[in-house]
Amino acid sequence: MSRGNLDPETEKAYHNRLEEALKAGYDILATGGSSIDAVVKAINIMEDEPMFNAGRGGVFTNDGRVELDSSIMDGKTLKAGAVAGVTTIKNPINAAHAVITKSRHVMLAGVGAETFAAAQGLEIVDPSYFRTDLRWQQLLRARERDAIELDHDGPSGMLDHRFMEDLKDPFMNDVKYGTVGAVALDKHGNIAAGTSTGGLTNKRYGRIGDAPIIGAGTYANNEAVAVSATGIGEMFIRTAAAFQIYARMRFGGETMTNAIQNTLNEIMAIDGYGGVIAIDKNGNYTAGVTPGSGMYRGVIGPDGKPRTAIFADETF
């Protein structure tokens, strides 16, 4: 992410939306609510905001569909829920949560997940609800290039590097996308993590990334840490990134910062990149991102004051 490719008005809008999501989660925690409920609420805000690649802002597949993935995990019980490849569930994170509370399963996919969500009384919408002109135009550009574009980046994030020379395309560089996620610690000492995404523009063949996979894009365990990830999903799956951070901390004695950095180093070693947000059982928090990347992120603590950042060199 380059500051030169993000105009001040758009930058401010992202900060405002991040603050809104943080406050929504905080309001639940401040009144004694659970970390998992706070995570759901914060993600709902981002799923309903077309600026983000989740829910209504989800990107299009090659065949012109919006296929959404989401997962959530409770660090106290280690219960987890996920949905993948859904096209009619307004808020996929709610469906992932329902998998925990209303089923004996961990992951449901496609039509089955949608049938389950409807049976639980979750809001079901026509697939046209998710369509935005911005995302459609992005798909048309991707089809022209016959490339797969990362959900959170422009041409520099294309998996097909034949198109790296097209860095000056203003449409692709001025628009940023991203998987959304949240992690939280409640007053009872329980942590939780959740992730929701539309995946990759122009993705094909029912592709599913790391977001709905417990241990790759999402993981939480009260013994150490809650993690939500974004980036090249295939690489986060191959490195079991979210679980690896937990394992490094609990079994390897690494600090949260070192565990995140060492995990990101493994991801970069196989030509991946991205970032994570994390909170540990003591309320320490951090966000890590691979060099040259950026990530919309924010934190809110006991003082109720949200702090947000976008670029890699920014701190809270």
Q: Which residues does the annotation mark as catalytic?
A: 179
Q: CA of 43: how far to CAs of 12, 165, 166, 249, in Å? A: 19, 35, 33, 26
Distance separating alpha carbons of residues 208 and 233, to the nearest angstrom: 8
Structure tokens at 125: 């919408």
User: Which among 201, 232, 238, 200 has a CA at the least distance from the CA of 216?
Assistant: 238
190, 38 contact by CB (below 8 A): no
Would you call 135 helix, strand, or coil by DSSP?
Answer: helix
CA atoms within 13 A on the CB side of 52: 28
93, 117 contact by CB (below 8 A): no
